[in-house]
Amino acid sequence: MKIAAIVDGGGNAIPFGEPGTVTLFSYEEEAWFVIDSFAYDLGEQYGLRDLKESTQALAARFGDCRVLLVSDVSGYPRTMLLELGFTLWSIEGAPENYLDRVKQKTAEAAEAKAAVVTANQPKVTESLPVPKPLGGSCAGVYTIDISQAQVCGGNHNSREILIPFFKTTQFTRIDILCDHVPKWFSGELADMKLNYSTEPVQNGRWLVSVRSHAHRNGHKSGCTTCG
């Protein structure tokens, strides 16, 4: 589990866009550690293009971390961060005081999404599974349980299922339940301009949420069905 925060010189959270220090926390062996820390300053004058490039570079440095703690974020910056798959937390004071709570809430949200994925898949399948749309108010959101079909262990099978979907289907997000994150994701998803985040769920499995910001199908962020 990784959580990022933007803080001032006193270690307290500040609004996104103000100059400060980005700290990246990682939960390892039942304790939190700082694994990266660097200055972040957009400068006094910046446009939307500068903001977009800076935010994309920030997301790339975060790796698979998509949880960000700040004191406030609104307008286009908020929209940009949500498009990149971030879960945003508004906090006051030191982020260290919130890490355990955010970890718990993030895990609960991942479990809820995993439950939706499992419920949306057939219990027994003789052929390779295919992503299923949630439909309704969640237009553009798909789910698939690859681990249930016991094909996530082979990179060839996950490619066989997901590459055609990524290339031919208009989607805003697909939640993928698997035994491990496919190794080819880190390189090939970036080439396809797709963002993804990962969260551990029960029984040693992973929930991987892949987002596309090339297509808009009317899905509203914050939907009570899919998050």
According to the model, what pLDDT value does residue 204 have? 81
Residues 92 and 113 in one domain: no
Residue 12 lies in domain: 2-97
Residues 121 and 89 in one domain: no
Look at residue 142 and tell me if it is in a domain: yes
According to the model, what pLDDT value does residue 152 have? 46
How far from 206 is each of 7, 124, 199, CA to CA, in Å? 30, 20, 6
Specify the amino acid at residue 219.
H
How far is it, in rounded angstroms, from Cα 5 to Cα 14?
9
Please write the tens of the pLDDT for every residue from 92-151: 999 999 999 999 998 888 888 888 877 776 554 456 678 888 876 677 899 998 876 554
pTM (predicted TM-score): 0.63
CATH number of 164's domain: 3.40.630
Look at residue 44 and tell me if it is in a domain: yes
Tokens of 57: 């570079």
According to the model, what pLDDT value does residue 100 have? 95
According to the model, what pLDDT value does residue 37 have? 95
According to the model, what pLDDT value does residue 76 have? 86
Look at residue 128 and tell me if it is in a domain: yes
According to the model, what pLDDT value does residue 7 have? 97
According to the model, what pLDDT value does residue 222 have? 43
Which segments in the chain show pLDDT lower than 70? 44-46, 121-128, 136-137, 148-156, 213-227
C-beta contacts of 73-78 below 8 A and 24+ residues apart: 73/15, 73/16, 73/17, 76/48, 76/51, 77/16, 77/17, 77/51, 78/16
Look at residue 226 and tell me if it is in a domain: no
Residues 166 and 91 in one domain: no
Query: 97, 124, 155 — which closes off a domain?
Result: 97
- Total domains in the fold of the chain: 2
Residues 199 and 121 in one domain: yes
Residues 86 and 112 in one domain: no
According to the model, what pLDDT value does residue 107 have? 87
